[in-house]
Amino acid sequence: MRTGLLTDVVGHRGAAAGAPENTLASLALAAEQGARMVEFDVKLTADGALILMHDETLERTTTGRGQVAETPLARIRELDAGAWRGPAWRHTPVPTLEEAVAILDERDLSANIEIKPCPGRDVETAEATVDLLRRAWPRHRPWPLLSSFSRASLAAARDRAPEIPRGLLLWGKPSDWSAAARSLGCLTVHCAQQHLTPEWAAEIGRLGYGLAAYTVNDPADAARLRGWGVDSIITDDPGALIAAGAGGRRRGFNGRRAL
């Protein structure tokens, strides 16, 4: 199976500036805006179902309350994940990962799936994710890229499904970042734009990793990061960055540094 890895512009949680994040509507909007790849978060419910959700709790993005890890899928299915964005988005459901996979195939989207475990569920969430992908991912499509801040999740994904590519998510610059990326078998490194420097970007490139920067919504910032050698811009507003020319200046990273 081919691996697409990174594209120039990646829609963050779909197209989070224009639609409720981590919903099928947001993924579809990113495709309509011209994105070829989307990023979204996956978590486990109380009964082991994989859903698209960033937070450990339900309050911010749904009409529910409490911990995701303590709420069964049937209850989460009753929640509204769009009302907080306005009347136009009422009755938007929280999707499962399997539903997201179906719309990715329908819209011809690549994916960066962030494994976002609730506390203590790092290994369990990673293993459930790769097991579902092995079962449900369309065989004619390149594997998605799995990323995580959790090194335990990335190690579990590596051990369970070494064929599915991995990326290391970083906030700051830990002293052992390169050793961690190497030991986890990562092909990409994903850095917060506010902590990335030209020198660090160059180092990441010299070591052969694809480089993604998040979350970049200003076209001027995107242009600056491109100049540093960033392969992929992760943004809430893919349509705006594509219209401003943020896409197409570099070719996305495909597992080989020489592009």
Enumerate the active-site residues.
12, 54
Residue among 193, 196, 195, 194 nearest 204 (CA) = 196
The one-letter amino acid at 153: S
- 15-19 contacts at long range (C-beta below 8 A, 24 or more positions apart): 15/236, 15/237, 15/238, 15/239, 16/236, 17/217, 17/236, 17/237, 17/240, 18/237, 18/239, 19/85, 19/89
Q: How far apart are CA 222 and CA 233, in angstroms?
A: 7
